[in-house]
Structure 1
Amino acid sequence: MSGGTPVGGGGYMRQRHSQGYWSGGDDLEDDASSRAPNTMLSSAPPARTWTRALENFLWITSAAFAVYYGDRRSNMVSLLWSDERIRRTALHLGLVSTVVNVGLVVYTTCFPLSCPPKSYDKSEALPAAAPLLISLGFLSFCLFSYALWPIWSFLTIPLLFTLLMASLVISPYLLIGPLRPQSVTLRAD
C-alpha cells in the first residue's frame, strides 16, 4: 500500500489531500471523494426563465385588475364588504376554510423544521395532510363560487382561479427568513 500514512500495527491509512478529487469510478474504494458529485442536492435555485417571469407578471396583473375594478362600479374589497347580493354565510364559511387550509399548510411545512432533521426521515406530515388540504381547498372554492355568483355569474370561476394563481405566485416571497429551509452542504470526510 503506497501513498498512505503509517499507523500503529503496521498498516497504512489513506489521506485525502484534495476535497474536490473525483476519479470517475476507476478506484476500487468506496469513499466520498471517489464518487461523482450529486447534482440533485445542490442548493442553487433553478434558473428563472423569461417565460416564467412573464407568466407570473400576467397572473399578478390580472388579479390586481380584478381586485381594482371589481364590478366596474367599485373595487372588490368594497364589494365584499358592503354588497347585498353576496351570500354572506357562504362567504364567511369559505373564508374560514381558507384560513384553516393556509394554517394547516404553514403548520405542516414549519413543524418539521423545529425538530432535528434525520437523513432517512422524509417530511411525511404534508403528504399525510394532503387529502384534508385538498378537501378544504375544494370546499372553499365551492363556497366562494356560490357566494359570489350573483355578482359575476359565470366569470366567478375564472376570477377565483386567477386570484388563486396570483396568491401562489406571490406566496414564496412572503416567507420569513428563518422559515426557509437550510441549504444542504456536502462533506467529504
Structure 2
Amino acid sequence: MLDNSDFATLRNRFRRDAELLLQGSTLDENEEKGKKEEEAKSLPRFNRHSVFWIMASVAVTYYVDFLSVLMQSEDIKSWWFNVGLTLLGICLTLAGFCIVYLEWYKGITHYDQEYPAIPPLTTAAFIAASCSLNIALWPVWSFFTPLILFTQFMGIVMLISLLG
C-alpha cells in the first residue's frame, strides 16, 4: 500500500501538472483572442475581388446586351420571369431592411439575432428567384444562363457590399 508520503508526492505532482495545464490554456486562450481580434478587423472596401466581379458584371451586361434582351425578347417565359422578379424583390427588400433600417438607422449589427427569421427567408427567396429566372431565361441564352445570372448576382453583391 501507499503511505502518506507517497500520497503527498502524488498529490503534489497532480497539482503541479494541473497548474501547468491551466497556464497553458490561458496562453492558448489569449492567442485565440488575438487571432479573433485580427479576423474581426474589416477588410478594405475596394479590393481586387470586388472590382473584378463588378467589372465582370458590367462586361456581361454590355456584351450580352442584358437589359435590352430582358425588355424585348419574346423567348422569355414570362410567368417564370415574373415569379423570379417578385421573389428577387422580396429578397432585396429584406436585404434593404437589414442594411438601411436595422444597421444604419437602428445601429443593430447582429440583426440575425434580433430577427432570426430574416436570413432563412432571404435565402429561400433568393434560391427560388434564381431557379425561376434560370427557367425563364433558358430559351434566350441556353446553358450560358446560369453563368450570366451568377456573374450579375456577384456584381450586384459586391456593389452592395461597398455600401456597408
* TM interval, short-chain normalised: 0.5 to 0.7
Write the distance in 1 (CA, Å) between the matches of 2:161 and 2:110. Answer: 21
- Report Cα offsets for 1:7-46 as digits up to 9, x if no partner: xxxxxxxxxxxxxxxxxxxxxxxxxxxxxxx98789x963
Q: Percent identity?
A: 23
Residue 47 of structure 2: aligned partner: 53
Residue 73 of structure 2: aligned partner: 83
User: Residue 81 of structure 1: CA displacement?
Assistant: 0.4
4+ runs of 1 displaced by more than 6 Å? Answer: 38-42
From 133, 137, 149, the equivalent of 2:122 is: 133
Write the distance in 2 (CA, Å) between the matches of 1:68 and 1:122. Answer: 37
In the superposition, the TM-score normalised over structure 2's length comes to: 0.65
- Report Cα offsets for 1:111-168 as digits up to 9, x if no partner: 3665587xxx953245322111111000000011001101111111111111111111
From 111, 116, 121, the equivalent of 2:102 is: 111
User: Which consecutive unaligned segments of at least 5 residues does structure 1 have?
Assistant: 1-37, 181-189
| Aligned residue-pair number | 128
Write the distance in 2 (CA, Å) between the matches of 1:57 and 1:113. Answer: 24
Aligned residue identity for 1:144? L
Q: Are 2:147 and 1:158 equivalent residues in the alignment?
A: yes
Write the distance in 2 (CA, Å) between the matches of 1:155 and 1:126. Answer: 37
Aligned residue identity for 1:57? V
User: Residue 78 of structure 1: CA displacement?
Assistant: 0.8
Choose between structure 1 and 2: higher helix proportion. 2
- Report Cα offsets for 1:35-74 as digits up to 9, x if no partner: xxx98789x963439xx7222222112111111111xxxx
Write the distance in 2 (CA, Å) between the matches of 1:158 and 1:83. Answer: 19
Write the distance in 1 (CA, Å) between the matches of 2:121 and 2:76. Answer: 27
From 122, 129, 144, the equivalent of 2:133 is: 144
Give me the CA root mean square deviation: 3.1
| Secondary structure class of the residue paired with 2:76 | coil
Alignment of 1:1-189 (within 5 A): 46-48=42-44, 53-70=47-64, 75-109=65-99, 110-111=101-102, 114=105, 123=111, 124-173=113-162, 175=163
Cα 1:113/1:171, change in 2 over 3 Å: closer
Residue 20 of structure 1: aligned partner: none
Cα 1:84/1:53, change in 2 over 3 Å: same
Is the contact made by 1:108 and 1:125 (CA closer than 8 Å) also made in structure 2?
no
User: Which consecutive unaligned segments of at least 5 residues does structure 2 have?
Assistant: 1-32
Cα 1:68/1:48, change in 2 over 3 Å: same
Cα 1:126/1:163, change in 2 over 3 Å: farther
| Secondary structure class of the residue paired with 2:44 | coil
Cα 1:115/1:160, change in 2 over 3 Å: closer
